[in-house]
């Protein structure tokens, strides 16, 4: 009787465990049939006869039955071990996998606003350091490579990088392509369109200042949007650029850039040049030549006259 009781209880437990995943995959009725098939192979001849419905019994009830002597013996220990009673003698009980019990994926430490600001300061300082090293004839390539490894997540995560002055190759998914943009296209795998943003095409940057429109913290990632102003080390001219930066904590615990999109502020296109505009410019140019010559012949300040005319007639400082 003890063996039959154990077999009956085991059958009910196994039927439930077998039928549930099968039913989920192929439908309830198919799950029932599959469970009967499995039980049939396990219990031999007895499984061919209809199995009487067994009322669900929890572990506390089973232990009560053991204590009362209703079931007992070596088979009981085996049964209890199989269904999770850790107090049963012998080997440890197997654990049944459960989606609900599966441990959550380990998440990194949350990123703080202070860490985002520190990352922005580090980026700005890196640009200034690379520029200064270049202007002092130092190894600016190494300075750029060291900075890139600290600032960007290349090799540790995907990096979505859309630089400001990239046209033919607007997206830079690899570290080599990012280096080309920052120090110039002469590097391995570089692009001819890159003049070296971090060295300002040879003129260098004296200062970089961030102004955040907003910082959004999202656990182990963060996003910042705003504008930064670059000051040319040669001319002192300021250039404003708008940005979106995404920061992620990598496996080594450091916060690095995984998203960087920069663009110049939108401006409306100038009006189309008309034939009348062209004719007026030509007339002004001719008059300027005559005025400069007359001033010279009259012993006047023809250099000033030429400078004034050049500022009005030519696009120096206003266009390429």
Q: What is the pLDDT along the chain (320 residues), one digit of tens a residue?
A: 444 444 454 445 444 444 444 344 334 444 444 444 433 444 444 445 555 554 555 555 554 554 545 455 444 444 344 444 444 444 443 343 333 443 433 456 999 999 999 999 999 999 999 999 999 999 999 999 999 999 999 999 999 999 999 999 999 999 999 999 999 998 888 999 999 999 999 999 999 999 999 999 999 999 999 999 999 999 999 999 999 999 999 999 999 999 999 998 888 778 899 999 999 999 999 999 999 999 999 999 999 999 999 989 998 877 77
Distance CA 257, CA 152 (A): 5
CATH of the domain at 130: 3.10.450.50
Distance CA 148, CA 142 (A): 10
Residues 120 and 257 in one domain: yes
Question: Could you give the residue ranges of the DSSP H alpha helices within 152-274?
Answer: 175-183
Q: Is 228 among the domain residues?
A: yes
Q: Is 97 among the domain residues?
A: no
- Among 82, 105, 128, where does a domain finish? 82
Number of domains in the chain: 3
Q: Which domain holds residue 33?
A: 2-82
Distance CA 231, CA 240 (A): 9
Residues 62 and 153 in one domain: no
Residues 159 and 217 in one domain: yes
Residues 185 and 138 in one domain: yes
SS3 category, 235: coil
Residues 256 and 127 in one domain: yes
Q: Is 103 among the domain residues?
A: no
Does this model's pTM top 0.85? no
The reported pLDDT for the residue numbered 29 is 42
């Amino acid at each position: 009787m003890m063996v039959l009781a154990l077999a009956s209880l085991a059958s009910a437990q196994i039927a439930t465990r077998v039928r549930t995943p099968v039913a989920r995959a192929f439908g309830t009725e198919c799950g029932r049939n599959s469970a009967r098939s499995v039980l049939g192979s396990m219990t031999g001849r007895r499984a061919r006869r209809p199995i009487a419905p067994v009322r669900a019994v929890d572990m506390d009830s089973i232990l009560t039955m053991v204590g009362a002597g209703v079931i007992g013996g070596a088979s009981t220990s085996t049964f209890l071990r199989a269904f999770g009673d850790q107090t049963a003698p012998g080997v440890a009980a197997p654990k049944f996998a459960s989606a609900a019990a599966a441990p959550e994926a380990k998440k990194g430490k949350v990123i703080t606003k202070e860490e985002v600001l520190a990352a922005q300061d580090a980026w700005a300082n890196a640009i200034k350091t690379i520029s200064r090293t270049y202007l002092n004839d130092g190894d600016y390539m190494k300075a750029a490579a060291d900075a890139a490894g600290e600032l960007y997540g290349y090799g540790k995560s995907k990096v979505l990088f859309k630089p400001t002055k990239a046209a033919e190759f607007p997206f830079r998914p690899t570290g080599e392509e990012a280096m080309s943009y920052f120090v110039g296209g002469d590097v391995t795998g570089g692009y001819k369109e890159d003049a070296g943003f971090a060295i300002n095409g040879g003129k260098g940057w004296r200062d970089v200042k961030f102004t955040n429109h907003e910082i959004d913290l999202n656990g182990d990632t963060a996003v910042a949007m705003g504008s930064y102003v670059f000051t040319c080390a040669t001319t002192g001219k300021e250039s404003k650029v708008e940005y979106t930066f995404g920061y992620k904590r990598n496996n080594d615990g450091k916060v690095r850039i995984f998203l960087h999109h920069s663009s110049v502020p939108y401006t409306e296109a100038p009006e189309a040049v008309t034939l009348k505009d062209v004719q007026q410019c030509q007339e002004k140019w001719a008059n300027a030549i005559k005025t400069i010559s007359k001033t010279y012949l009259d012993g006047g300040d023809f250099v000033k006259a030429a400078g004034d005319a050049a500022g009005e007639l030519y696009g120096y400082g206003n266009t390429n």
